[in-house]
Structure 1
């Protein structure tokens, strides 16, 4: 198949994907101070990879970000989230009580900032991994249907 007519689309996508990814990290780390956070950043990172799959093909995207990695990423996200909660409980606090992470007195907020960043990182990994896993499952099924129909 001749893909010369997709040159402009591919060049624009190559320019946009790094910008989209950078914006996702801005949303991730700005979520502690304003709107945004792990869920939004995870969706944006998944969108960047889905854009790559739509422009360069799903097999190319699966080579760049393998389906096994996306499943592992989702699992790691859940483990980070749960791990922070259990860490707080092991320190004598309640589940996800951030001040208990470092035995801080009530006026201190360093543990709260670190706890929120870790939780948001877990959400980022979980959401992006889950979205990409779902996309790969649907994209693979569509490819199977297309092959059967033709």
Structure 2
């Protein structure tokens, strides 16, 4: 598919909108359906779509494997960090109300960062799984 001009042009047009939709799902998760898990899957799907059209090597240049592995760990650290921040501020683990003087603002801030951590971890895990399965086919050819 690397030489199919129509697919490449359509992919270049669609991928920015897929990424924008992932951000919408991420930021709208507080108010309706959506959130970190769905946004992470959509972000990973955009990269997988890129890899299917442009090739795995090009996708690895855009999102290298060390970055993917770091995303998995950083997302968990963000999630856990919100809980530890609640403990350090005198509340319970993942107690968002202590994150701001106005409890409603603290609740929104805590949920936002937890969802960012979930999105980061989920997209990293999905891409790692894709890279591992995609490499399996290349190992058989050699």
Tell me which structure has the larger Cα radius of gyration. 1
The runs of 4+ residues in structure 1 deviating greater than 6 Å are none
Aligned residues of 2:2 and 2:53 also touching (Cα < 8 A):
no
Report the RMSD for the aligned CA atoms in angstroms: 1.3
User: Equivalent of 1:98, from 96, 99, 104?
Assistant: 96
User: Equivalent of 1:110, from 100, 105, 118?
Assistant: 105
The Cα offsets for residues 6-45 of structure 1, whole Å up to 9 and x where unpaired, read as 1101110110100000000000000010000010000000
* Alignment correspondent of 1:33: 31
Across the two proteins, how many residue pairs are aligned to each other? Answer: 142
Within 2, Cα distance between the matches of 1:36 and 1:123? 12
The unaligned stretches of length 5 or more in structure 2 are: none
Aligned residues of 1:21 and 1:45 also touching (Cα < 8 A):
yes
| TM-score of the two chains, using structure 1 as the length reference | 0.91
* Alignment correspondent of 2:81: 83
- Is 1:119–2:114 an aligned residue pair? yes
| TM-score of the two chains, using structure 2 as the length reference | 0.96
The unaligned stretches of length 5 or more in structure 1 are: none
Within 2, Cα distance between the matches of 1:102 and 1:110? 6
